[in-house]
Structure 1
Amino acid sequence: MEYLALPPGQLTTSTAALACGVQPATIRDWVRRGLLARAGGTPKRPIYRVTDVLAARDAPKPTRSGQRASDHVA
């Protein structure tokens, strides 16, 4: 069950994924990796700020486990 109405500027995991063009599992991964913080909701139904979601989408991501994006040499 999704929320019936959210405050303006807030997204569920599903809507955040749609906004970024990724799967919901990616949003949960960004939270686990510290790129995105929950703004409320419940443990099973978190909500996120639009600005935080977009910042996480645009943040540099490591290409391999333990590798920083700035360490990658093309």
Structure 2
Amino acid sequence: MEYRSLPPGQVTTTTAALACGVQPATIRDWVRRGILTRMGGTPKRPIYRLTDVISARDVPKPTRAGQRAADHRA
């Protein structure tokens, strides 16, 4: 169940994922890796600042051995 209404500038995991063009699991991974911080909510229904989400999207992500490399060729 999603929140009915959030103050402006605050988003749920699902909305954060839509804003960044990624899956909700990616947002949760960014939190686990310390790239994004929750600003409130509950453990099962976290809330994030939209500005933090956009900043996290633009941060270079460390890769792990065996992980697919992003193809940046134009």
Q: TM-score, normalised by structure 2?
A: 0.85
Once the 2 structures are TM-superposed, how far is the Cα of residue 63 of structure 1 from its aligned partner? 2.4
Aligned twin of 1:50:
50
Aligned twin of 2:40:
40
Q: How does 1:17-28 map to 2 (within 5 A)?
A: 17-28=17-28
Aligned partner of residue 48 in structure 1, secondary structure: strand
Cα shift readout 1:33-63 (whole Å, capped 9, x = no counterpart): 0000001000000000001000100000112
Q: Quick one: distance in 1 between partners of 2:34 and 2:62?
A: 13
2:12 is the alignment partner of 1:3: no
Over the residues paired in the alignment, what is the CA RMSD in angstroms?
0.8
Aligned twin of 1:69:
none
Structure 1 runs of 4+ with >4 Å offset? none
Structure 2: gaps spanning 5 or more residues: 66-74
Q: Quick one: distance in 1 between partners of 2:5 and 2:51?
A: 18
Q: TM-score, normalised by structure 1?
A: 0.85
Whichever structure has more helix as a proportion of its residues is: 1
Q: Quick one: distance in 2 between partners of 1:37 and 1:62?
A: 17
Aligned twin of 1:30:
30
Q: Quick one: distance in 2 between partners of 1:7 and 1:46?
A: 14
